[in-house]
Structures are given as structure tokens and as C-alpha cells.
Chains A and B, each alone.
Chain A
Amino acid sequence: MPITSPAQALWNQRERIADNRDRIGALMSAVGRSTDLTPFQWAQLLAFALEFRPDLIIELGRERGNSTCCFLEAARLLAPSPCSVVSLCLTDLWQRETAPRLRPLCDVDWFARGRVLTQNLLTFDFAAALAQSRRCLLFWDAHGFDIAECVLGKVLPLLHGREHVVTLHDMTDLRYDGAPPADYDEHGLWKGERDSRGRFWIGSIASHVAQAISVVDFTTRNRIPLHPAAESLHALFKNDPVRTSELRRLLGDDLFSLSAHWFWFSTAEAPGRVVYPPCPSLNNAPTHRGGWRRWLRPARALKRVFRSDPV
């Protein structure tokens, strides 16, 4: 069954989102970090999840939990159909800060649909988590090449036999999301996976996260379309003033935008056999490659010793 585009999902789910507009606003205010996930991204991801009707949503990377909240809300709106959320992140900001602020707004059942874990996703048992799932939405917002290797080499092979969709945050399509000025900003060049400041432009994609390169590589090798969410928004709404005005009336300017700044793909759209990168160790954090040479760079070696685990 083809996957409904984010634009069609938004259109199909517009009434439902409009009905929950005040609640969405309250949830976003409670999380208090609308810069991490903008209101229109909330609405788009919520609609996409509602339309896709997953029985499992896996969230990689959470921080304060904007998207966690969005997906738990999707799970609530999908009830009585079963839908659970597994959220993995190294931070415990959700438990310490966000969840207490959400308690006045959300009941025990709302929280119970989620396993919000403070855990290194490189050591997580995805096979067990996916064992009962038939339809999975993966939200990828954890950064770095190590994580990309884990997702592409370990999680995607598990998803391939199931209906699934992978959504990617922190990627902009310069054609649809609005091109930032071409000038390099104060952060200069993109300097690799641990630096999240400098941006790179490759073709029509702008991003600051390392996994964007790994995903473009993966989808190129497998000839899988890598869809900018905004592409469908432009295709469906840009030249349709009737639908656009209805969405603006129902959702308001904050929840409706033709920009998206996220992408999605599914290996179900591969025209042939899917190839995956080897994942060095299935349930253990991968050992860093590069051997003894890495330790010849004392500054980097020191950082490596003292840094926390990735995510």
C-alpha cells in the first residue's frame, strides 16, 4: 500500500488536528522548546503518524521531548487501535523536566503508551522491540555516523519485512523549505559528525547532521526516493488557494506552512534488493575504527576519553 504523503496526510487529518489545536498548543507550551520542533512540524508529523497508523513509533533522539509528546498524542488519537511509542535518548530531560510539566495535561494512559528510555540506542535491542510490530514509524533525530550505521545496518533490515516509514529531522530542502543565504554563517564549514553548527549544502539538501550524508548515500545506492516533506506540501497546496485558505482557517498560521524541514523514506519503495551497510556489532556499541592513529592526536584522544556517549 503506498504511503500517504505528508501533505495528503495533513489534508486528510485537518479536522482532527483542528479539533485538538488548543491541546497541541498547551502541550507545546508545556515542553517549552518550540525552536526544536516548530508548531507546523508538530502538525505535519502528527498528521503523518495519524495517517500512517503505526502500531509502533520508535523515536531516536528526544532531548526535551517535543516529538515524544507529539507521538504520544498521535498514539492517544489512534486509540483504540494499539500504538505505542519507544523513545531512546541519552538525556533524562523528559523525566526530570518535561513529564512533570505535562502531568496536568495528560492522564496516566497517555504516559503509559510510551516507553521513554534513557538509554544508548547503539546497545538497544531493536529486534525485541519490533518483534510484535507490523507497522512502524521511525523518527530519526539522533545524530552522528555511529548512529547512522546502527540505523541503516541494524534497524532498517528489521523494518524491511514490515510496513514502515522513516522520518528524518534536521534536513532542509533548499527548493521547498526556503533557501537560507548562501553565505557561510559564523560557524564556517561543516566539520564532521560531532560538530552540529556548520551546515553543508549538497544538491538540494542543507543540513548540519552527519546522518544526512549517510542517508543520501543509502537511498542513492538503493535507488529509494528520499522525500522532502515540503515537496508534497508544495505540490498539493501551493497552487490551490481553496485548500490553503481552509488549512489556514482550521489550523492557523502557526500550524500550517508549506515548509517542513524534514524528510522521509521507506525501503518498501526500493525497486530491487536492498543493500545495507554491515553493522560491526549487533547489540553492542560499535568500537571506533581508525586504530592507534586516532590516539596520535592528543586533543582528540582526550576529548574521546572524556566525552559522553553519542546521541
Chain B
Amino acid sequence: MAIASPGQAFWNQRHVLAALAPRLRQMSDAVGRPSDLSLRQWNQLLAFALEFRPDLILELGRGHGNSTCCFLEAARHIEATGGRCRLVSLCLDDTWAVQTAKRLRPLCDDSWFGRGAILRKNILEHDFEAELTPAQRVFLFWDAHGVVVADCVLSRIMPLLASRPHVVAMHDMCHSVYDMQNRKKPYGDAHIWDGECATTNFFRVNGVMSSVTQAILAMDFTERNDIPLHAAGEGMHHDVMQHPERVAELRRLLGEDLVNQSAMWFWFSLNEAPGELTFPRPCPRPLSQVSLLRRMMRAGRRLARRIARV
């Protein structure tokens, strides 16, 4: 079954979004970081998730938890409409537990929180095989940066997803046509992108503007597997903005500011691959901190024995 574009999803889920609009706004305010994920992106991602109806949403990278909140809301709505959905969120940051969850308590009940396993954990140490075993339909949100995480996603997680219906949504990537009003291209004060992630030094390559390494590696991965790397903004353009009657209705339902083709996120799915798939060979897993500590203690004991012998 073809995956509905973010634009089609936005249109199909318009009444749900309209009903949830005040609640989403309250949640976004409670998280208090609209610069990390705008309310427009909240609505687009929520619609995309609702339309896809995953039974597992895997969130890589959380920060303050804008998207966590958005996907917990998606899980709530999927369950309310007869489905089931859980969220597994992985991040090194504990801002969710320390700040965000507390601010959300007045808005969300225990069952809302209960659908999510919000883990403060290194993504590289998570057992995705076990996590994905019961899942039939997976939505992966990729917002953790760097080569090492990309290696984990592309070499360990994607082979597990390939046999299931899935989508991978990627944050922090803009399309130079659909997402950008100002298409001027000077570097300004920015340096060339030097491989560092999430800085203000952006690269523009193949219609993609980004500053995160995984954008390059996702382009590489989708190119090798001959699958499209979709700009969400492209879907918004073709399935919403090109239809004046849809735009008019959406603006009436949701307001002016939420109806815009700019999305600034991308998505892909191996379900769209025309042929055999290829994955990078995984790098060796890093040793966990516990095993590193054990090794250091063992080395310390050996050293102490040697000193004692001397």
C-alpha cells in the first residue's frame, strides 16, 4: 500500500487536527521550545503519524520533547480510534523527566504517559531487535545527530524495518525549493559545513539544506537503494497548496499560520525500493559504560597484582 504523503495526510486528518488544535497549542506551550519543532511541524508530523497508523513509534533524539509529546498524542488518538500504538523514545538528555513531563501533567493523564517508554539511554546500546519483534508497523523519527547514530540507524535498524511497513521521518533537513522562502544563497557569516552537526553552518547539496551529517548519509543510503528521499514540503505543495479549495478549507479549520508548504523535514521508506536492498556493514558496537568500568577495574587489579609482586 502506498504511503500517503505528508500533504495528503494533512488533508485527510484535517478534522482531527482542528479538534486537537487548542490541545496541541497548550502542549507546545508547555514544552516551551517552539524553535525546536514549530507548531506547524507538530501538526504535519501528527497527521503523518495518524495517517500511517503505526503500532510502534521509535523516536531517536528527544531534547526537550516536542516530538515526544506529538507522538504520544498520536498514540493516544490511534488507540482512541481502535488501534494500538506505543512510543519508545531514546535520548541521552533527561530534560523530559526533569522539566517537560512535569509541565505536561496538568494536560495529560497517566494513560497518556503510559503509552511511552521515555528512556534516557544511548541509542547505540538499545536492543532494537527485541524492541521491534512485536511491531508490525513502525514510524521512526530520526532526530539524533552524527555518523555513529547514522551507522546504527542504517546498518542495524533499517534491516529490521525493511520487512515491515515503515516510514522514517528525518528532522533538521530543508528542501531548497519547497521549504525556503528566501532562496538567496550567500554564506553570510557561516563557514562551510565541516561535518559538525546542528551548527549554523549549512550545506546545500542536491536540493537539501542541512547541517547534520545524517542528511548526507541518508542521501547516500536512499541513492544506493534507489528509493526516493521525500521532502515533506513537496507533499504539502502537491497535495495541499496546489489545491486552492483545500487551502481555503484548511485555513478555515486550522488558521493561516499552520497551512503552509514549508515543512523542513524529510521522509523515506524502504517499502518503496524497487529491488534488492543494501545496508552498510555495522561498525562494532561501542562498549557500554558498565563494561568499560569493569575492564578498567580488571586492568587496575592486574596492575596492583604486578606492583605487589615487585
What are 28 A-B residue pairs whose CB atoms fall within 8 Å in the complex?
Answer: A145-B194, A149-B194, A182-B224, A182-B226, A184-B278, A184-B280, A184-B281, A188-B281, A188-B283, A189-B280, A190-B217, A191-B147, A191-B151, A192-B213, A193-B195, A201-B220, A203-B219, A213-B193, A216-B205, A216-B206, A217-B192, A217-B193, A220-B185, A220-B205, A222-B185, A275-B185, A278-B189, A278-B191
Query: Given contacts A200-B220, A202-B216, A214-B203, are A182 and B155 in contact (CB under 8 A)?
Result: no
Name A195-237 residues within 8 Å CB distance of B: 198, 200-203, 210, 213-214, 216-218, 220-222
- The answer to whether the Cβ of A25 comes within 8 Å of any Cβ in the partner chain is no
Is A192 touching B195 in the complex (CB atoms < 8 A)?
yes
Contacts of B190 in A (CB 8 A): 277-278
Tell me the bound Cα distance from A154 to B174 in angstroms.
28
Q: Which residues of A contact B217 (CB under 8 A)?
A: 189-190, 200
Residues of B with C-beta under 8 A to A289: 191, 194, 196
Among A258-311, those with CB < 8 Å from B are 275-278, 280, 289-290
Closest to A202 in B: B219
Inter-chain pairs besides A152-B192, A183-B278, A276-B187, 11 sampled, C-beta below 8 Å: A146-B194, A149-B192, A182-B224, A184-B279, A188-B151, A189-B151, A189-B154, A202-B220, A220-B176, A278-B191, A289-B194
Say whether chain B's binding surface is mostly helix, strand, loop, or mixed: loop
Given contacts A200-B220, A203-B223, contact A193 B192 (CB under 8 A): no
Which B residues are in CB contact (< 8 Å) with A221? 185-187, 204
Docked pose: A200 CA to B213 CA in angstroms: 12
Interface residues on B, range: 35 or more
**Which of A146, A190, A193, A222 has the most C-beta atoms of chain B within 10 angstroms of its own C-beta?**
A190
Give Cα A186 to B282, complex, Å.
10
Could you tell me the distance between the alpha carbons of A296 and B97 in the complex, rounded to whole angstroms?
Answer: 24
Q: Does B271 contact A (CB under 8 A)?
A: no
Main secondary structure of the interface of A (DSSP, over half): loop
Residue of B nearest to A280 (CB): B191
Contacting residues, chain A, for B192 (C-beta < 8 A): 145, 148-149, 152-153, 214, 217-218, 277
The docked-state distance in angstroms from the alpha carbon of A217 to that of B283 is 28
Q: Is the CB of A278 within 8 A of B187?
A: yes
Say whether B225 faces chain A, with CB atoms less than 8 Å apart: yes
A122 to chain B, nearest CB (A): 13
In the complex, the answer to whether B205 meets A217 with C-beta atoms within 8 Å is: yes
Residue among B224, B225, B283 with the highest chain A CB neighbour number at 10 A: B224
- The docked-state distance in angstroms from the alpha carbon of A262 to that of B198 is 31
* B150 on interface, CB distance cutoff 8 Å: yes
In angstroms, Cα B147 to Cα A149, docked, is: 21
Give the distance to chain A from B270, nearest Cβ to Cβ, in Å: 13
Q: Which residues of B contact A216 (CB under 8 A)?
A: 205-206
* Residue of A whose beta carbon sits closest to that of B224: A182
CA distance A55 to B155 in the complex (A): 49
Q: Inside 8 A of B187's CB, which chain A residues have their CB?
A: 221, 275-278
Q: Closest Cβ of chain A: how far from B188's Cβ, in Å?
A: 8
**Which positions 108-122 of chain B face chain A at CB distance < 8 Å?**
none
Interchain CB contact under 8 A, B186 and A213 = no
- A189, B147: Cβ atoms under 8 Å? yes
Q: How far is the CA of A145 from the CA of B216 in the complex (A)?
A: 14
Closest CB-CB distance, A59 to chain B, in whole Å? 21
A49 CB, nearest partner CB in chain B, Å = 27
Q: Which residues of B contact A191 (CB under 8 A)?
A: 147, 151
Q: Give the distance in Å from the alpha carbon of A264 to the alpha carbon of B216 in the complex.
A: 22
Q: What is the bound-complex CA distance between A222 and B187, given in angstroms? A: 10
- Check B193 against A145 for contact (C-beta < 8 Å): yes
CA distance A277 to B185 in the complex (A): 11
Query: For A188, what are the chain B residues with a Cβ–Cβ distance below 8 Å?
Result: 151, 155, 280-283
